[in-house]
Structure 1
């Protein structure tokens, strides 16, 4: 029978002695950055950056759900 200890949200230690690192989705962060840049550079290339951020954010949300990763809030903000 195993137990799980979560240390500061970064490393999970299970009773079997296995260390697992909680993985944050990088596409979620990319989506957030593109979303912010689309607001800053609205008149130049903002629409293009917004569309790229939307697509990357949707892909990130699907990956987060499929692989049970972290970063759902970042991806959602990037899509919005």
Structure 2
């Protein structure tokens, strides 16, 4: 696996962890009462922005995944 692949894997992992954290925040906001809040802590407009950011991060991770070079060696078919 080349050095470029290691960088891409790190970038993918970073983007997915960020998206996961943002999705958890969105879920907590949606279920605000069970989280102990009286009202949602993120406005509707800001929630839309958060969802766009999550989508952008996931799309970036997918695009980076497509760039990973997977090559067989002499022992692989």
**Structure whose CA Rg is larger:** 2
**TM-score bucket of the superposed structures, by smaller chain:** 0.3 to 0.5
Relative to the length of structure 2, the TM-score reads 0.43
Relative to the length of structure 1, the TM-score reads 0.42
Q: Which one has a larger percent strand, Structure 1 or Structure 2? A: 1
